[in-house]
Amino acid sequence: MTSETGEAPAAPPARINLAEEFAQSGVGPVLQQLDDELIGLAPVKQRIREIAALLLVDRVRRKFGLTSQAPTLHMSFTGNPGTGKTTVAMRMAEILHKLGYVRRGHLVSVTRDDLVGQYIGHTAPKTKEVLKKAMGGVLFIDEAYYLYRQENERDYGQEAIEILLQVMENNRDDLVVILAGYADKMDRFFHSNPGFRSRVAHHIDFPDYNDADLLAIGEKMLAGLNYKLSPAAWQALAEYIAARRTQPHFANARSIRNALDRARLRQANRCFAMLDAELTIDQLMTIEAEDIRQSRVFQQQENGA
Amino acid sequence: MRITQGCFSFLPDLTDDQIESQVQYCLDNGWAVNLEFTDDPHPRNTFWEMWGLPMFDLKDAKGVLMELQACRKVYGDRYIRLSAFDASHGWESVRISFIVNRPQNEDGFRLERMEGRGREQRYTTRAYATDKPEGKRYS
């Protein structure tokens, strides 16, 4: 027991029902939603569940008057393009808010441009402005490694880093900083800024999706837009994913989204070509195999073979 | 003499916690919070110097409190006030303003008399502080 004993209720209950506490926190539905809406990402979900458990247990401990120091929750998300880093960060803000770790639960998403100024003396106010906006919520720094430019030692990014580090240390209760970027570049970034490495408690690696995951993601995206795949198109998309993966600039879910956007374009064009015929709602919703098979990806494969 | 300008000025000085909840109220209403400071306490001196820019788009009062601490570090010997601007249509003006920092000693005001034409007597008040040049008044 520490000095915090004074704040504890006079007669703390001898037992506490963790399940009840969990239901009260309202974090269950958010975790469930995470499970339902995000496909794959097992290690990420596991880590989020661990963090949620820690915060929940901490809350209960506080009720018993046991010492509970707020844990450091600054995180780094590493992973290849399109593996859902931003999406998870958005959820993270909500989860931390439900668990009472951050007060407002909003997400401020920034990149180097928002933090680093153009002239001497321009950076500090800019960084502080962003930090003030992020107070009580989550600050998400996308492609954080651009903050540090190794080749230019007079780069203003260093100044932004120093302010960030200071606030990350002093205002641990007020905001959570999430750094995100591609794994190899983030490694180099942490290597040259050891201060960051030690202040970031959770390094979460986002694995690439396998083909089945990507297919499920594609279906989910289409369902969200009130489209559906015909069985033949489903087969085509599965083949597309396998083919696309072998080609350069493959960006996981983002590539799938782009491919589906183009398929929608072709579907619209196909519908438009049947100007005289009357379309059924089913035709408007269905993406056929030909919409997908026209893709450049298949043609290149044929050429290569 | 204790200066009474703006809200809460007849109450004891607000603690930082109280200031924080006032600021949070302002932010929840969508007002932009400003920090201003001066060393001229005359009630007619309405244009105080601004500390930084008005703070738009904040969600949490902590950001304002951080600026307030920074301002106090530099101008802790002066008056600092916090005002909140409501930009919504029809208001477009300051909705709340209160003092959050005072000098250690508030000397108050001298009453000055001036002989006018005939037997006319004109009065004015002048802060003792303003006898000294700006920047040296409360140090």
Tell me which chain B residue has its CA closest to the CA of residue A136: B60
Residue type, A59: R
For position A2, what pLDDT does the model report? 44
Interface test with B, best of A101, A114, A135, A176 (most B CBs within 10 A): A135
For position A30, what pLDDT does the model report? 79
For position A12, what pLDDT does the model report? 58
In angstroms, the CA B58 to CA A124 distance is: 18
In angstroms, the CA A217 to CA A297 distance is: 19
Q: What is the rounded end-to-end Cα distance, in angstroms, of chain B?
A: 17
Q: What is the phi/psi pair of residue A82, to 5°? A: 75, 25
Of A175, A262, A183, A161, nearest in space to A218 by CA: A262
Query: H-helix or E-strand containing B95?
Result: strand B93-101
Confidence of residue A34 (pLDDT cuts 50, 70, 90): confident
Split chain B (139 residues) into runs of 10 and give each run's mean pLDDT.
91 95 95 94 91 91 93 94 94 95 91 93 93 87
- Token pair 């601007």 is found at B85
User: Any residues with CB less than 8 A from the CB of B72 and at least 6 apart, and which?
Assistant: B80, B101
A5 or B112, greater pLDDT: B112
Considering CB atoms only, which of A125, A128, A137 is closest to B59?
Answer: A137
In angstroms, the CA B18 to CA B67 distance is: 16
Confidence of residue A13 (pLDDT cuts 50, 70, 90): low
Residue B134 burial by CB count (10 A; 0-12/13-18/19+): exposed, middle or buried? exposed
In angstroms, the CA B15 to CA A244 distance is: 61
Cβ separation B58–A125 shorter than 8 A: no
Q: B93-101 and B79-86 as β-strands: parallel, antiparallel, unpaired?
A: antiparallel
| pLDDT over threshold 60, residue A8 | no
Residues of chain A with Cβ-Cβ distance to B64 below 8 Å are 132
In angstroms, the CA A179 to CA A141 distance is: 5
In angstroms, the CA B98 to CA B8 distance is: 7
Tell me which chain A residue has its CA closest to the CA of residue B64: A132
Lowest mean pLDDT among A121-135, A268-282, B54-68: A268-282
Of A112, A22, A101, nearest in space to A69 by CA: A101
Cβ separation A135–B62 shorter than 8 A: yes
Q: What is the mean pLDDT of the segment spanning A131-138?
A: 93
In angstroms, the CA B63 to CA A137 distance is: 11
pLDDT tens-place string over residues A221-254 = 899 899 989 999 999 999 999 998 888 888 889 9
With helix as H, strand as E and coil as C, how does chain A read? CCHHHHHCCCCCCCCCCHHHHHHHHCHHHHHHHHHHHCCCCHHHHHHHHHHHHHHHHHHHHHHCCCCCCCCCCCEEEEECCCCCHHHHHHHHHHHHHHCCCCCCCCEEEECHHHHCCCCCCCHHHHHHHHHHHHCCCEEEEECHHHHCCCCCCCCCHHHHHHHHHHHHHHCCCCCEEEEEECHHHHHHHHHHCHHHHHHCCEEEEECCCCHHHHHHHHHHHHHHCCCEECHHHHHHHHHHHHHHHCCCCCCHHHHHHHHHHHHHHHHHHHHHHCCCCCCCHHHHHEECHHHHHCCHHHHHHHHHC
Q: Is ipTM over 0.90? A: no
Confidence of residue A304 (pLDDT cuts 50, 70, 90): low
CA A102, chain centre distance (Å):
17
A62 touches chain B (CB under 8 A): no
User: Any residues with CB less than 8 A from the CB of A38 and at least 6 apart, and which?
Assistant: A44, A45, A84, A87, A88, A91
A174 touches chain B (CB under 8 A): yes
Confidence of residue A1 (pLDDT cuts 50, 70, 90): very low
Packing angle of the helix pair B62-75, A123-134 (nearest 10 deg) = 140
Query: Is A43 in contact with A207 (CB distance < 8 Å)?
Result: yes
For position A11, what pLDDT does the model report? 58
Cβ separation A106–B59 shorter than 8 A: yes
Tell me which chain A residue has its CA closest to the CA of residue B67: A132
Cβ separation A135–B52 shorter than 8 A: no
CA quadruple A165, A171, A175, A176: dihedral positive or negative?
Answer: positive
Cβ separation A135–B63 shorter than 8 A: yes
For position A10, what pLDDT does the model report? 52
| pLDDT over threshold 90, residue A280 | no
Which neighbouring-strand residues pair with A107?
A: A138
Q: What is the mean pLDDT of the segment spanning A125-152?
A: 91
Average per-residue pLDDT in chain A? Answer: 86
CA B36, chain centre distance (Å):
6
| pLDDT over threshold 60, residue A4 | no
For position B13, what pLDDT does the model report? 93
Query: H-helix or E-strand containing B83?
Result: strand B79-86
A181 or A66, greater pLDDT: A181
A70 or A64, greater pLDDT: A64
Confidence of residue A105 (pLDDT cuts 50, 70, 90): confident
A58 or A16, greater pLDDT: A58
> CA of B83 to nearest chain A CA: how many angstroms apart?
17
Residues of chain B with Cβ-Cβ distance to A104 below 8 Å are 59-60
For position B29, what pLDDT does the model report? 94
pLDDT tens-place string over residues A190-227 = 988 888 888 888 899 999 898 889 999 999 889 989 99
In angstroms, the CA B5 to CA A284 distance is: 67
